Structure 1
């Protein structure tokens, strides 16, 4: 990987960590399409899984007291059920169709979130939690994007922002561990070939992004953050789909 591409990867990871700390999600939505373009479909999604796990693990300890553990259990059990077969399937999907799938999932998820934000429907009950968790596990394994399904549930269930954002962190950690474990068992050679220095820089920028997010959180509203995440993610998803379609038909 050239120095220029590494800088783009590191910048994407830093911005994603900032969004994750402010809004509770947004890391994968922001960086998944871009990393798929730079690292390829399989390497990009796996990299999102790794970085998402690290960032959520770091944030989790800072929001521990606000986690809704009952909600976490319902979401996580269903997510694991969806994650395991989806992770195995993702390993064997061809790269070009997978890039199209990643971009498509992000675009559909973003569109659905915009529609649901204007919806007056309210959902209740454990079945809705399980469906959201299962869908999140599948999309996280295939596209590295697990947030939209639970975000849609949060909107429809009127789940307050602070416990929602806090609960997502152990939830993402659980999904990340299962997803990475399955993928690396099935195909241990998929991990992106970064140097030791590059991995150190990735870790440093995730920490720096979380710290920056904490400082910005005091001055930026959740609405502005979500708008920025949506705009950037739309651009990245469209680019990922375009690249996948080009590779598919070239």
Structure 2
């Protein structure tokens, strides 16, 4: 059974606590922190699938505490196309080696994030629905492939000059949609299975979520908004780097 050891469960608990605290504070964190760790613990397929499930529950819990700051129009626009990326992501997992694709995706994300972070004054503000629709599709693809939807959406949100509180809150229902789509599509297409996962992972993960969200909520009261925004961008860059390195290691 995958993930049956006490050490695995202890590492999972610490990872989930830290990831959920960062997500409550900055808008993202669980997928970025837990994705690489859980992949090592449980394997690249089942590990990301477990992260997808945990991310859905975690984002739903945070949504319940930050719903006042959610921009419903932004959520509906970006979320409406996540399935367009989630389906190809699952097909890619089944059909071909994802190592080279992860290198390309991770590298592209880092370049795009660098452009909108350090050259924002020269980046035109996106208008209309099309850029948001593209961000949703790319986020759905990334979430299915690597358990990380946040960096792709962060690139758009940064370019569109979203206020950090709206950005951090609106990401949460988007994570619910993206994670749920990824789980359903993977299970339906046979791209992953939860049948071999240790059932103790779920209560341990839930405990970690509750502790992490509570701690992150306390941090959000004392950490300035600009610091939280900088943390979100750093985590987005980390996400792109994780995907890039993961693919690069696979190619070696």
Q: Which moved more, 1:228-237 or 1:156-165?
A: 228-237
- 1:7 lines up with 2:10 in the alignment: yes
Q: Compute the displacement of 1:136 (Å).
A: 0.7
Residue 229 of structure 1 aligns with which residue? Answer: 235
User: Which residue matches 2:162?
Assistant: 159
Of the candidates 21, 31, 34, which is equivalent to residue 24 of structure 2?
21
Whole-angstrom distance in 1 between the partners of 2:183 and 2:17: 21
TM-score (norm 1): 0.85
Mean Cα displacement is larger for which, 172-181 or 52-61? Answer: 172-181
Deviation at 1:216, TM superposition (A): 1.4
Query: Does structure 2 retain, via aligned residues, the 8 Å contact 1:21–1:214?
Result: yes
C-alpha distance after superposition, 1:40-77 (max 9, x if no partner): 21112112211111110000111112111111111111
Q: CA RMSD in A?
A: 2.6
CA contact (8 A) 2:150 2:236 kept: no
TM-score, reference length from structure 2 = 0.84
By how many angstroms is 1:226 displaced? Answer: 3.5
Q: Which residue of 2 aligns with 1:109?
A: 109
Partner of 1:56: 59
2:49 to 10, 24, 46: 46
Distance in 2 between the 1:147 and 1:113 partners? 12
8 Å Cα contact 1:104/1:237 also seen in 2: no
Say whether the 8 Å CA contact 1:19–1:25 is kept in structure 2. Answer: yes
Encode CA deviations 1:134-186: one digit per residue, 9 max, x unaligned: 11111111111111111000111111111111111111111111211111122
Task: Provide closer, same or farther for how the CA distance between residues 26 and 20 of structure 1 changes in structure 2, counting only shifts above 3 A.
Answer: same
Relative to structure 1, the CA distance from residue 108 to residue 15 in structure 2 (aligned partners, 3 Å threshold; closer, same or farther) is farther
Alignment of 1:188-203 (within 5 A): 190-191=193-194, 193-203=196-206
Which runs of no fewer than 5 residues in structure 1 stay unpaired? none
Distance 2:170 2:126 in 1: 18
The alignment covers a number of residue pairs equal to 243
Alignment correspondent of 2:126: 123
Distance in 2 between residues matched to 1:111 and 1:211, nearest whole Å: 34
Instruction: State the shift of 1:85 in Å.
Output: 3.0
Which consecutive residues of structure 2, in runs of 5 or more, have no partner in the other structure? none
Helix, strand or coil at the partner of 1:195? coil
Matches within 5 A, 1:62-73: 62-73=65-76
